[in-house]
Amino acid sequence: MSIKEKIPANLLFFGFVLLTAGGYRAELFERLAELSLFLPDRRFWAEHLLIPGDLLRYAGAWLTQFFYHPWLGAALLAILLTGIQLLMYQAFPPKGLFRNGYVLSFVPSLLLLFQILQLDYVIFYENRAELLFSQPLGLLGALGIFCIVDRIRRNTHRPGIRFGVSTAPLLLYSLLGFYALLPTLLLWIREWKEPERVSGKLQIAAAAGMVLIPLLFFFCYERLSVFRIYTAGTHALYQFQGSWRLWWAYPALFGWLLLSVALLSRSGPIQHSSRRSVEKTQRHAPLLRSLLNILLLAVCCVALFFGPQQNPNFYRLLKVQRALQAENYDVILQQTTVEKPDRILWLYRNLALWKKNRLCEELFNYPLDLPSPTNTIMPVRIIGPDLYAHYGQVNHAYRWLMENSVLNGVKAEYLREMLKMSVLNGESALAVKYYNILRRTLFYGKQAEQYREYLLRPERVAENATLQSIREYRPDKDILGEESSYVEPFLLRSFWNIPDGSFQTLELKMSAVLLLKKGELFREVLEVYRKNNMALPRYVQEAALLFLSVDPEFDIESLRIAEPIVRRYNEFVNVMQNHRPEEGALSAKLRKHFGDTYWCYFTTVQNVAVI
């Protein structure tokens, strides 16, 4: 195919990557950048020389930070993936039936992109940000080496030199790990297919080199696991958690390369003479070929975009967390008002409602019994730092940031939040440490700067409304022993220890009573509303009917509960009392007609604090 035929497909692909990574899925890539870290110092460099292939992680971390500006990161990713595609075509020009299949050279790039777009909550548990660029870089390196070495090999007739050249990439094992073995393996297969291949002995020697050279390196590296000698530089399959769709693209990519070299491609680059002769005989074929390839590529891109199982709630969560950082509670409410939310979104929604003084007014106006999203093995690692911090549990927020740091490595996001928690805790020296590290980053230094003032003058924290509001909700006395691995039960218990005073405090306490169905504590909190002449929110009124209407010592009339609520309550009681088993499950009926009421929650929801 001529360059003119290829350009449209390349442009299509480039544009697709740019739009996807820089536009439609920008939140994911921005977040991956935050869940990464690059520091331009010798220590960081030294930390990325510990095992073969670590150089890819280093370069990958450097590139990932540019997703701070999504379009910039997307452009870099698009260039990288396009480069892989071009090298694929150069290295494995299709033959036979597939000779017009330019689109085949896009397969590795599409697989890599697919793998990235599959990412969901797993980014909070694994170092997926590392894969964003490191694996494409590795593949680019492997293909580049393959092309160069193959060209040299093809122009050499001496078997010894062919052997030497083909195994030379092994010397780069230290830098590229597996991606130095890969071109050697591919060259070995190609050599095997050559009519005048090198002798069997040299082939065996090449195979032995692929096995032994990494083994030798094992003794030079202190941190290279015995189980990862041949896969150093890649993300080991056992490191992937969650479903198979989160990792299958990597072995598929490897399989595709083997297939390409063994069956789908011919040896050597396209000869100019043959291209001219093709053009002479098929004048209309170029246009058809180009269109066909573009069409196939477009289908692949669409399939990639729409096909894979993607949890929309994950992207909503990213937007919600971004909005929380900006204290934009309206956006949080908008993002969480969806048909099929999950429990995580519900918790953020409650936080936003609370901040807007509408918690007990709208708490149960939402689907009940929400599940935790799939692929969330420990939700506290995702939502703990956010929610704990905003509800004043600074110590516990810091704890989970540290746990995440330990498990995933230090990231820009964790540093920023640990800086904030240290400022709130009055741990100035610790805050300075995190500030100084964050300042060294290319883009996140600005986020650190907003705390500089409080490092110099800690008393000024009281002048910052956000920080001060967190401080106000810190427990007034120290309690030892609360386990915060489960967010809901911990928070609901913690609401009791918030100092009394404001309507917002009351909202939290009442929400805990309602959610935990603590009827015996309801009256105590209700009295605070009454004492302060506060209007009773909707769900407090509903709960009052449930808990107090049959209490002979309590004058329910004095609460002046809204008439529509009383009416509806009577209907609810009527349904409860007159339900017949043959009508089906009572809970289904109640949820259908009274699903937005506290009475329905009280009656039908069993698991009150799930994650």
Partner 1 sequence: MKPHILFILLLWILLPLLFSSCSPTIPSDAEESSLPLHIYPDYTSVTLPYNIAPLNFKIEHPADEYLTVLRGEKKGEIVLDGKSVRIGLRKWRAFLAENRGASYRVEVYLRSGAKWRKLIPARNYVSDDPVDEYLSYRLIEPGYVHFNKLSIRQRNLTDFTESDVFNNEIYAPGGKKACINCHAYQNYRTSSMQFHAREIHGGTLIVNNGKVRKVNLKTGDLISGGVYPAWHPQKNLIAYSVNETGQVFHSRDSQKVEVQDLASDLILYDVEQNQVRYISNRKDQLETFPAWSPDGKTLYYASAHYVPEQENVSMDIILNYKKVRYNLYKRTFDAERQTFGEQELVFDAAALGKSATLPRVSPDGQFLLFTLGAYGNFHIWHKSSDLCLMYLEKGWVTELERANSNDVESYHSWSSNGRWVVYSSRRDDGSYTRPYLIHFDNEGRTGKPFVLPQEDPDFYGRFLKSFNIPEFTVEPVATPMIDFVSAMHNDPVEAKLQ
> In the complex, which residues of this chain contact partner 1 (CB under 8 A)?
39, 41-43, 219, 222-227, 236, 238-239, 393, 395-396, 398-399, 402-403, 405-407, 409-410, 425-427, 429-430, 432-433, 436-437, 474-484, 494, 497
The one-character DSSP state at 441 is S
Q: Which is nearer to partner 1, 427 or 453 (CB)?
A: 427
Quick check: 588 and 355 in contact, CB under 8 A? Answer: no
Q: Which is nearer to partner 1, 429 or 535 (CB)?
A: 429
Residues whose CB falls within 8 Å of the CB of residue 326, separated by 6 or more in sequence, listed in order: none
Quick check: 114 and 304 in contact, CB under 8 A? Answer: yes
Quick check: 246 and 240 in contact, CB under 8 A? Answer: yes
Tokens of 365: 């106006």
Q: Which is nearer to partner 1, 241 or 532 (CB)?
A: 241
Quick check: 559 and 544 in contact, CB under 8 A? Answer: yes
Q: Which is nearer to partner 1, 229 or 544 (CB)?
A: 229
| CB 385, min distance to partner 1, A | 14
| CB 236, min distance to partner 1, A | 6
Half-sphere exposure of 508 (CA within 13 A, CB side): 23
Question: Taking the CA atoms of the chain, what radius of gyration do you get in angstroms?
Answer: 31
Q: Which is nearer to partner 1, 97 or 226 (CB)?
A: 226
| CB 595, min distance to partner 1, A | 35
Q: Rounded CA gap, 318 and 310, in Å?
A: 13
- The amino acid present at 424, given as its one-letter code, is L
| CB 279, min distance to partner 1, A | 53
| CB 43, min distance to partner 1, A | 6
Tokens of 351: 């936080």
Quick check: 473 and 498 in contact, CB under 8 A? Answer: yes
| CB 255, min distance to partner 1, A | 22
Q: Which is nearer to partner 1, 185 or 412 (CB)?
A: 412
Q: Which is nearer to partner 1, 93 or 379 (CB)?
A: 379
Tokens of 138: 């590795």
Give how far Cα 377 sits from Cα of 124, 243, 288, 373, 409, Å: 10, 12, 50, 9, 18
Backbone angles phi, psi at 479, to 5 degrees: -120, 130
Q: Which is nearer to partner 1, 199 or 225 (CB)?
A: 225
Residue 490's closest CA among 470, 471, 515? Answer: 515
| CB 257, min distance to partner 1, A | 24
Q: How many residues does the chain have?
A: 611
Residues whose CB falls within 8 Å of the CB of residue 593, separated by 6 or more in sequence, listed in order: 571, 575
Residue 540's closest CA among 566, 574, 564, 511? Answer: 511
Residue 334's closest CA among 326, 504, 348? Answer: 348
| CB 132, min distance to partner 1, A | 20
Tokens of 130: 């590392």
Quick check: 274 and 104 in contact, CB under 8 A? Answer: no
| CB 407, min distance to partner 1, A | 5
Q: Which is nearer to partner 1, 90 or 405 (CB)?
A: 405
Q: Which is nearer to partner 1, 262 or 410 (CB)?
A: 410
| CB 454, min distance to partner 1, A | 16
Q: Which is nearer to partner 1, 289 or 509 (CB)?
A: 509
| CB 225, min distance to partner 1, A | 5
| CB 394, min distance to partner 1, A | 8
| CB 135, min distance to partner 1, A | 17
| Beta-carbon count within 10 A of 472 CB | 15
Quick check: 525 and 513 in contact, CB under 8 A? Answer: yes
Residue 116's closest CA among 105, 130, 106? Answer: 130
Residue 288's closest CA among 15, 105, 100, 106? Answer: 100
Q: Which is nearer to partner 1, 255 or 426 (CB)?
A: 426
Q: Which is nearer to partner 1, 5 or 488 (CB)?
A: 488
| CB 403, min distance to partner 1, A | 5
Q: Which is nearer to partner 1, 48 or 399 (CB)?
A: 399
Residues whose CB falls within 8 Å of the CB of residue 289, separated by 6 or more in sequence, listed in order: 1, 5, 100, 102
Give how far Cα 121 sits from Cα of 30, 315, 416, 507, Å: 14, 9, 20, 30
Q: What region does 123 belong to: left with phi over 0, alpha with psi -120 to 50, or beta? A: alpha
Quick check: 140 and 82 in contact, CB under 8 A? Answer: no
